[in-house]
Amino acid sequence: DTGVSQDPRHKITKRGQNVTFRCDPISEHNRLYWYRQTLGQGPEFLTYFQNEAQLEKSRLLSDRFSAERPKGSFSTLEIQRTEQGDSAMYLCASSYRLAVNQETQYFGPGTRLLVL
């Protein structure tokens, strides 16, 4: 499968613990997005990278959240001191931005986080 992959697929943790998720985009895609999806809702934008640069962060992304894309390939999303409200599906999407209005985002399978 040459699509976007995410690891782990599921994570159960206790409140207050730190968790880290990984996303491997489609090869040569220069953009990588993180979204969060709660039950019955559409995905909500969290942050995105163009190559290794993090260019925008949503207000949803509190100080407990940090994301990196150190070499412009895979990305990690870390949540520190998890809270029950962090329970959600964390989706990664990648795209190749050729030009303005020339971009399609492809999603990974997501990491489902449950904070007890």
Partner 1 sequence: GENVEQHPSTLSVQEGDSAVIKCTYSDSASNYFPWYKQELGKRPQLIIDIRSNVGEKKDQRIAVTLNKTAKHFSLHITETQPEDSAVYFCAASSGGATNKLIFGTGTLLAVQP
For partner 1, the closer CB: 75 or 105: 105
User: Contact with partner 1 (CB under 8 A): which of 55, 60, 98, 114?
Assistant: 55
By CB under 8 A, tell whether 83 contacts partner 1: no
CB of 99 to partner 1, least distance (A): 11
Q: Which residue has the tokens 């697929």?
A: 9
Question: E-assigned strands of the chain?
Answer: 5-7, 10-13, 19-24, 31-37, 44-50, 53-57, 65-68, 75-79, 88-95, 106-107, 111-115
For partner 1, the closer CB: 45 or 74: 45
